[in-house]
Amino acid sequence: MPFINIKTPEAAFSRAQKAELVQTLTSLMVSYFGETVRPHTMVLIEEVKDGGYGRADVVFTLPEAYRATD
């Protein structure tokens, strides 16, 4: 069973964008492994709260302009 785990900043994607990600990534797995994996492909989108991630000693927050509107 293919398993795809995506971590994104909280509110970075709308529900429609998340649904599109799930469909697109599932189709990608099908293109590699064949149609038999479609019902068994798991796509998990985890949202990380602002300030809960960073790089090189810098803690990130998502700017308001980049927040999705549902």
pLDDT at 27: 98
The token pair at 5 is 């785990």
Q: Which are the contacts of 64, defined by CB distance < 8 A and separation ≥ 6?
A: none
DSSP code, position 66: G
SS (H, E, C) 1-53: CCEEEEEEECCCCCHHHHHHHHHHHHHHHHHHHCHHHHHHCEEEEEEECCCCC
pLDDT at 30: 97
Domains with residue ranges and CATH for the chain: 3-66 (3.30.429.10)
Q: What is the pLDDT of residue 53?
A: 84
Give the pLDDT confidence of 15-40 residue by residue, as tens digits.
999 999 999 999 999 999 999 999 99
